[in-house]
Structure 1
Amino acid sequence: MNDSNEPAPALPGRDDVEAAAARIRGHVRVTPVVQPGAGFVDGDAELYLKLECLQHSGSFKPRGAFNRVLSQTQLPEAGLIAASGGNHGAAVAYVARELGLRAEVFVPEIAAPAKIARLRDYGAVLRIGGRDYAEALAASRLRRDESGALEIHAYDEFAVVAGQGTLAREFEQQAGKLDTLVVAVGGGGLLAGLLAWHGRNVRVVAVEPERSAALHTALAQGAPCDVEVAGVAADSLGARRAGRIAFALAQANALTSVLVADDAIIAAQLRLWSQLRVVAEPGGAAALAALLSGAYRPQPGERVGVVVCGANTDPGLVA
């Protein structure tokens, strides 16, 4: 199915990210940036890691979820509803708990046990079903229409994208002007937020698993389209179709799109643990995998920022 006949989506920019940063201040953590030092990856790039895996609920997702909810002038009695591979659902559940709202979250059967446990800990009404995120989303929308709850889309919504863009703004304040930002992509909400903030001022490298490459395929074909979803990071990066906002911003700005194998993702997880004692889920380590595998090779002296975007996994699988 081609989206070419649909109206172009509204695209957030720097002013929207600034407004989001003011709105969510005090609700999200300022996560640390570390320089792992020489030898962490090959070459002579100046590397900065943004440890967004230490954000509330274990990923960057509360930024967008808080901005979406706090942007509303009135909230329905039914509360919030979302579909998720796990991380977004945990963020929505966390936001609901913090703001005293009800949350209902739909996740597919591939959702990791660690993510399901976190959702339950936050008190969300949990619905498990469907083989992937797309099927969970379809079920959540039937329930949304029935209940009247506010949908918090995982990646393809203006306020959600603007909220994710606060990560780029914060990273820039911490590390200064970077030449390149490397980020993992599922549906593209975080990527879109980075592009909303930086535009063409920073090279953005979009990293996807070889077996779940919705944006890479969309860019090759000229429009978002359905792809098969599989692999070690399918629960967090396994969008069947890239978001329209992410696709539009990717087309409008300088973007490098690369793919990484599952083995490279696992190696990046192990590198983060063995050298930094940082636990990252597969999706959270995918951006680093692009540097370790050579899918992206920085120039000597290039100032490269890498987003470690999620940590919702069983630590025993990494350590």
Structure 2
Amino acid sequence: MITRADVDQAALRIAGLVRATPLLKLDERHSPGDVWLKCEFLQHTGTFKARGAFNRVLACRERGELDPDIGIVVASGGNAGLANAYAAATVGVPATVFVPLSAPAVKVKKLRAAGATVVQEGSEYAVAYEAAIAFAESTGAVYCHAYDQAEIAAGAGTAGSELLEQLDGVDTVVVAVGGGGLMAGIAAAVEGRATVVAVEPETAATLHSALAAGAPVDVPVSGIAADSLGARRIGEIGYAVAVRTGVHSVLVSDDDIVAARSFLWENYRIVVEHGAAAAFAALQSGAYVPAAGERVAVILCGANTDPSGL
């Protein structure tokens, strides 16, 4: 569980190491209401995840848990791996990233370029994850989870506290959900000041399914946004914060996501990954319809995508 106090502490800790990402107001002809885009895709490594990575690494160093010769370990061939490798390199400690043997060569190359030692283990992510946990236990490396750690989620939430400073009177924050770290952080940051709408692909509905079941459950994962929103189960932190703060979940289709991503490119020359476009798709598709006068902010959380498909 995390609270606004955890997010505020994270903001102080990572100040000067992350970018304050800008807001862009939608043109009136594109939205009947007051809608703003939080351009978190401009963050270091192309996603919000640098915020949580820095908070985790620095908090562990403060507690004396970070061995400067061993550093950190993470299981992720995607955005979390890149963000944690970047944070480790900035702080000056090693990063070891476990990925499955099936990880695309281009992602492995990017991780190595970020300064990480890449270990390919197993045919699936679950095997790489278990190998990373074993590595942490045997070496003393700090394990950085992709989303379900308090410091990771609180760090991600600094995008929400930053938003509150940038936009007076925001009523609703719309955010995409995979494992739930960003949603949890945002919900904690704006608790009591704004509501949160969580957007999920129909084909990877981790939070939606958990809320229906009354607890986190495994869900099948597929679809166009599975590379970034492909967690099979909502994190314990994400679920707990969502229930506590009354997060509302809506679903969008792959077609909705593709249309939203194309709209952002065609009208604003914004390039985002499909997972980020999912949040905007909720408004474009009508899955979420703001009330009259409602001030809405949409978190565009990442841009690690192939733009050739736009």
TM-score by shorter chain over 0.5:
yes
Q: Which runs of 5+ in 1 are unaligned?
A: 1-10
The answer to whether the 8 A contact 2:187-2:195 is kept is no
In the other structure, the counterpart of 2:204 is 212
TM-score of the two chains, using structure 2 as the length reference: 0.93
In the other structure, the counterpart of 2:20 is 30
The verdict on how the C-alpha distance between 1:175 and 1:54 changes in structure 2, with shifts beyond 3 A counting, is same
In the other structure, the counterpart of 1:71 is 59
The answer to whether the 8 A contact 1:83-1:106 is kept is yes
The separation in 2 between residues aligned to 1:113 and 1:39, in whole angstroms, is 42
The separation in 1 between residues aligned to 2:99 and 2:249, in whole angstroms, is 27
The separation in 1 between residues aligned to 2:133 and 2:33, in whole angstroms, is 45
Task: Summarize the alignment of residues 184-223 of structure 1 with structure 2, pairs less than 5 Å apart.
Answer: 184-223=176-215
Aligned residue for 1:257, secondary structure, equals: strand
The answer to whether the 8 A contact 2:176-2:200 is kept is yes
The answer to whether the 8 A contact 2:73-2:143 is kept is yes
Instruction: Choose 117-126 or 17-26, whichever is displaced more.
Output: 117-126
The separation in 1 between residues aligned to 2:229 and 2:26, in whole angstroms, is 25
The answer to whether the 8 A contact 1:85-1:236 is kept is no
In the other structure, the counterpart of 2:166 is 174
In the other structure, the counterpart of 2:84 is 92
The separation in 2 between residues aligned to 1:259 and 1:135, in whole angstroms, is 30
The answer to whether the 8 A contact 2:187-2:247 is kept is no
Aligned residue for 2:134, secondary structure, equals: helix
2:30 alignment partner AA: F
The separation in 2 between residues aligned to 1:112 and 1:167, in whole angstroms, is 29
The separation in 2 between residues aligned to 1:149 and 1:186, in whole angstroms, is 26
The verdict on how the C-alpha distance between 1:272 and 1:311 changes in structure 2, with shifts beyond 3 A counting, is same
The separation in 2 between residues aligned to 1:267 and 1:130, in whole angstroms, is 35
Partner residue of 1:315 out of 304, 307, 310: 307
The separation in 1 between residues aligned to 2:101 and 2:260, in whole angstroms, is 25
Q: Which runs of 5+ in 2 are unaligned?
A: none
Task: Summarize the alignment of residues 104-143 of structure 1 with structure 2, pairs less than 5 Å apart.
Answer: 104-108=96-100, 115-128=107-120, 133-143=125-135
The answer to whether the 8 A contact 1:114-1:314 is kept is no
The separation in 2 between residues aligned to 1:170 and 1:131, in whole angstroms, is 39
The answer to whether the 8 A contact 1:134-1:239 is kept is no
In the other structure, the counterpart of 2:42 is 54
The verdict on how the C-alpha distance between 1:30 and 1:113 changes in structure 2, with shifts beyond 3 A counting, is farther
In the other structure, the counterpart of 1:279 is 271
Count of residue correspondences: 306
1:108 Cα deviation from its structure 2 partner: 4.6
The separation in 2 between residues aligned to 1:124 and 1:30, in whole angstroms, is 25
Task: Summarize the alignment of residues 235-314 of structure 1 with structure 2, pairs less than 5 Å apart.
Answer: 235-314=227-306
1:285 Cα deviation from its structure 2 partner: 0.9
Aligned residue for 1:106, secondary structure, equals: strand
1:184 Cα deviation from its structure 2 partner: 0.3
1:278 Cα deviation from its structure 2 partner: 0.9
1:165 Cα deviation from its structure 2 partner: 1.2
The separation in 2 between residues aligned to 1:141 and 1:236, in whole angstroms, is 21
The answer to whether the 8 A contact 1:86-1:107 is kept is no
Cα root mean square deviation, aligned: 1.8
The verdict on how the C-alpha distance between 1:294 and 1:129 changes in structure 2, with shifts beyond 3 A counting, is farther
In the other structure, the counterpart of 1:4 is none
Instruction: Choose 132-141 or 260-269, whichever is displaced more.
Output: 132-141
Instruction: Choose 14-23 or 109-118, whichever is displaced more.
Output: 109-118
Instruction: Choose 60-69 or 128-137, whichever is displaced more.
Output: 128-137
1:170 Cα deviation from its structure 2 partner: 0.5
The higher relative CO (CA closer than 8 Å, separation ≥ 6) is in 1
The verdict on how the C-alpha distance between 1:305 and 1:29 changes in structure 2, with shifts beyond 3 A counting, is same
TM-score of the two chains, using structure 1 as the length reference: 0.91
